[in-house]
Amino acid sequence: MIFGPCTRKQILTMSALAAGIILAVVAISVFSQVESKQPPWAAGHSFNKCHKTLPNTTSSTLELVHIVFRHGIRTPVDTFPNDPYVKDSFKPTGWGHVTNRGKKELFEMGRWLHRRYGDFMGPYYRPDRLHAQATASPRALMSLQTTLASMFEPRGTVMEWNKQLNWQPIPIVSEPLDQDSLLLVRTSCPRYFEARDEVFQLPEVIAQQEPYADMLRELSNLTGMPMRDAEDVNSLYITLLAEQEFGYKLPNWAKDYFPERMKFLAEQSYIYNAYTPEMQKIKGGPFLRKMYDEMLAKQAGSLRPRDRGMFIYTGHDWTVGNILSALGLWKRQMPRFAVMAIFETHQNRQTGEYYVEIFLRNDEFGCLEQLKLADCELQCPLNRLIKLSESVLPNEPMEQRCRAHNPAFVEPPPRKIDQ
């Protein structure tokens, strides 16, 4: 029958089979393309060029690492009167908490950190080697815990203590929110808010926001909430993003504004919030001061504990934005959830000189972008880096730095997003 003349029915069957095979092949190739475009935490096993990155130690030894990253994907913190989800309970966690998808991404990021810094940190977790700190915000604490869980899996090391659980406790320190002087810098500082008001009065800032006057009016109408400036747009942008990431359908009007039309002002908001050296000093300066002191101590051999190799911090979008702004390194962009800045202190093996390399991880595949200070090389000598930061390093008492010029100025209450 196979070799004989085919009946009409057989031909039809064979064509159907062939068509089926072609369809399957097309479907598989399309599917595999889709899969390879997915970020690793979504695809599970897909591989990409940034799966493994290593510090550049061609002619240096890595001495110290400082990492600061934003918490992972979360449910919304803010809302607006016309939000269809204004009464939603965002089960099971409620508002403002890391979602399971967020945890998957953070867990993958911890593995990525293990691949990059595993050799440097040693074969197993040692308390002296690592300082881990988060803001007192539950989403920051949970994000750091999730990241550390995969960065220091104890199985097969001397730290293994439970055959059923490939996890070990790792301490995280934190300052109470209202005393936060490092990552949120939420201690009272009227001058900061007064300076921010001044920024929004600057002719160039008014000119940048001017083309969006209609959009602000329309969005005020649609949301039922006054939308006055870049900061309001930023807050709405992140609320819509969080709802979308949560799998919720956005209201129909949103597609005309989010993300494209809102993007510029939402991004500018990070720039306006640390616009002047004075503001950068208040918000990013304390972190830089602490980090530089630790780098200098490492260089002098006086850092304690002696074994300390890494400081890892979890904060918020503004934390990363403000620190990099203080260095003149923050370009207009939206920080992703879990956006990360890395500062590596190296010692040149030939000259003995200490230098710093700075990286930003703000890419769906977790690729690193190396950042360069305007007046320094990619491998910026530590002393020069500190010299270039002089105008943003706090050197006066905080009360003095934070005193409003106008004694009648009243500091606004903390934003929801900062708790």
Ligand X SMILES: *[C@@H]1O[C@H](CO)[C@@H](O)[C@H](O)[C@H]1NC(C)=O
- Biggest CA pair distance of the chain: 101
Positive or negative: CA dihedral 375, 379, 380, 381? negative
- Contact segment (CB under 6 A) with ligand X among 55-63, 204-212, 318-326, 409-417 equals 55-63
Burial 323-352 (b: 16+ CB within 10 A, else e): bbbbbeebeeebbbbbbbbbbbbbbeeeee
User: Which is closer to ligand X, CB of 19 or CB of 378?
Assistant: 378
Task: Tell me how far, at minimum, the Cβ of 300 lies from ligand X, in Å.
Answer: 23
Question: Binding marks (x or -) toward ligand X, 335..374, rule CB under 6 A?
Answer: ----------------------------------------
Distance separating alpha carbons of residues 17 and 22, to the nearest angstrom: 9
Q: Can the peptide bond before residue 92 be classed as cis, meaning omega within 30 degrees of 0?
A: yes
User: Which is closer to ligand X, CB of 60 or CB of 137?
Assistant: 60
Task: Tell me how far, at minimum, the Cβ of 78 lies from ligand X, in Å.
Answer: 21
- Contact segment (CB under 6 A) with ligand X among 53-61, 128-136, 139-147, 385-393 equals 53-61
| DSSP 8-state code for residue 196 | H
Task: Tell me how far, at minimum, the Cβ of 220 lies from ligand X, in Å.
Answer: 8
User: Which is closer to ligand X, CB of 13 or CB of 59?
Assistant: 59
- Contact segment (CB under 6 A) with ligand X among 52-60, 137-145, 308-316, 408-416 equals 52-60
Question: By CB under 6 A, how many residues form the interface with ligand X?
Answer: 5
Distance separating alpha carbons of residues 386 and 380, to the nearest angstrom: 10
User: Which is closer to ligand X, CB of 349 or CB of 405?
Assistant: 349
Is residue 53 part of the contact set for ligand X (CB under 6 A)? no
Distance separating alpha carbons of residues 311 and 287, to the nearest angstrom: 11
User: Which is closer to ligand X, CB of 203 or CB of 352?
Assistant: 352
Task: Tell me how far, at minimum, the Cβ of 345 lies from ligand X, in Å.
Answer: 14
Is residue 58 part of the contact set for ligand X (CB under 6 A)? yes
- Contact segment (CB under 6 A) with ligand X among 6-14, 51-59, 104-112, 234-242 equals 51-59
Beta strands in 287-339 (DSSP E): 310-315
User: Which is closer to ligand X, CB of 56 or CB of 244?
Assistant: 56
Is residue 56 part of the contact set for ligand X (CB under 6 A)? yes
Residue 354: closest CA among 412, 301, 275? 301
Six-digit token string for 375? 């007046």
Q: What is the DSSP pairing of strand 380-381 with strand 354-361?
A: antiparallel
Task: Tell me how far, at minimum, the Cβ of 253 lies from ligand X, in Å.
Answer: 10
Question: Binding marks (x or -) toward ligand X, 91..130, rule CB under 6 A?
Answer: ----------------------------------------
User: Which is closer to ligand X, CB of 106 or CB of 219?
Assistant: 219
DSSP result, 227-268: --SHHHHHHHHHHHHHHHHTTPPPPGGGGGTTTHHHHHHHHH
Task: Tell me how far, at minimum, the Cβ of 56 lies from ligand X, in Å.
Answer: 4
List of long-range contacts for 47-54, beta carbons under 8 Å, 24+ apart: 48/365, 49/365, 49/367, 50/112, 50/363, 50/365, 50/366, 50/367, 50/368, 51/112, 51/115, 52/112, 52/115, 52/116, 53/112, 53/115, 53/116, 53/367, 53/368, 54/116
Is residue 82 part of the contact set for ligand X (CB under 6 A)? no
CA atoms within 13 A on the CB side of 33: 5
Count how many residues are written for the chain: 419
Is residue 59 part of the contact set for ligand X (CB under 6 A)? yes
Question: Binding marks (x or -) toward ligand X, 368..387, rule CB under 6 A?
Answer: -----------x--------
User: Which is closer to ligand X, CB of 171 or CB of 226?
Assistant: 226
**Helix 213-223, helix 260-272: angle, nearest 10:** 100
Question: Binding marks (x or -) toward ligand X, 217..256, rule CB under 6 A?
Answer: ----x-----------------------------------
Amino acid at 72: G
Six-digit token string for 228? 């006055």
Site for ligand X in 163-222 (CB under 6 A): 221
Task: Tell me how far, at minimum, the Cβ of 338 lies from ligand X, in Å.
Answer: 24
For ligand X, the binding residues (CB under 6 A) are 56, 58-59, 221, 379
